[in-house]
Structure 1
C-alpha cells in the first residue's frame, strides 16, 4: 500500500490522527518510535533548525531534500509542508509532482502570502482554488489520486476582526473541500469555542494545529478528539522541546563544570534512535 493510501486509511478510521511535526530525519524517527502513526513536516521548523530567517528563504529545493530524507528515515506516512506551493499554479503542479516522487503521502498547501513574512494577507480565493486545482491535477497525472492535499487557510490567523476571519476561514475551507482537498486546515485557532464552530460548519475533515503558545492553554488534544477534529498537528512542539533540552543541558554543564546533573540518557545516548558516534 502506498503511503498516501496508508494516510487516508488512518484518517478514515474516525479516530483523530495526531501528527507531530518533524524538523529533520532524527526527529521524525523519534516521532515514529514514540508511537505516532504518521509524521508531518514543518517548513517553519525546517527553517528555524537551519538558522534561516524564513520559510521563503529556506526555499523549495532545501525543503524537498529534507522531506525526502525524512521519508527515508521512517516507515510511516509523511506529509510534506508544501507551504504556498512556492509559486503560481504551474509551480504548484511541479512542486506536488516532486513531493510525490520523494515518497511523501500528502502535502500542506496554504493560502497565505508566503514570500512576505507576517504580511497579514491571504491570496484571493480564486487564486487559492486555481493552485489547489493544479495540485490535484498533479496527483492525477502521477496516477496517485490518493496523494492527500491538506488545504490550509490562514484567513482566521491574519484577520483583525476574528469573527469575520472565522467566517472567511469556514467559507474557504468548504470551497477547498468541495474542490477536492482531502483535509481542510484552519490556522490561528485560539479557543475551544472556535474549534466547535469550525467542526459544525465545515463539511468535511478538519485539521487543527495545537500545542502552541497561542492555544496550548485553550484546548488539549483530548478536547480536539472530543470535538471530532480529524487531524491534529503539533507544529512547533518537537523543535522547541529539543531546543529547550539542549539549552538546559548545556547550562547545567556550564554552571557546574561536571556532568553529574545530566540524565544518564543524555550521556549514554539511549535517548537517540541512532548509534552514538564520537566527533
Structure 2
C-alpha cells in the first residue's frame, strides 16, 4: 500500500487536525496488541459494578463539560477550548446535550458547535439551516439509538467491559471524601467505542487517561480524561477534559421537531446544505451510540 503523501494541501491538513481531535472520555495508558496492563483491583471492580447499579436508579442528572485540545501537524497548530452541557431525564427518557469549541476551529468551520436531543431511542439533530441567523429552529430524527447505551449507566458498563480498573484511594472534592478509580481500556475496544459514537476518522489513541471520583453511593461526580494521539504521517493531538455531574430531577427542554430532514426550513445560504461542524471533536460518550 503506498505511503501517505506528506505534501497534502493545507485544507486537508486542517481537516485532519480537527477530525483527529475526537475527544476521549475513557482513560489510563491504553493497551496495544501486547496487553501489558496489570490485573484489575477486585475492590475497584466492585466499586464500578456498584456504580452501574446506583446509576440505574437515578431520576436524572446534568453535567458541565470543560476542556482543551492541542494538535500539531507539520508546522501548523490547532488550539481550542471546549465547553458544554448534558441534561438527562431518566424517568421520561429525554436528554439534550451541546458542545462548543472556541479557538482555531472558528477559521475552518462554519459551525463551531454541535447539539443533539434524544427522545427514547430516537436521536434528533438540529436542521443545518436552523444554525443560520433568522431561520426558524427545527430538529429532525437522524437515527435510532439504544437509550440504555446513551446514558452514564451504559457508559459505565461499557467501560468495565473493556478496561482494567484500579483503586487510587480517596480524594476531597467540594468538601466530600470521594473514591478515586482509574480505567485502563483496551485500545482496539476503545476505538470501537469512538466509532460507535460517530467518530469515523479519528487517529487511534496512543494513550488515554481516565479518573473518576465516585461518591458514597458509587455515582461518578467528576470524570477527567487526558487523550494523546500520534501517527507517523498524521497529527499529534492531545485533549484534556473534565465533566462535573450533579444528580436529581432534571427538566429537558423539548425542541421544535419535524418528521424528517426534508421538512427542515430552507435557506438560500449555500452553507445550510451541509455546513461542517465540530462533530469530530465531541467527547466520546457524549453522542449516543448506534
TM-score by length of 1: 0.28
Instruction: Name the structure where helix makes up a greater proportion of residues.
Output: 1
TM-score by length of 2: 0.27
Instruction: Name the structure where strand makes up a greater proportion of residues.
Output: 2
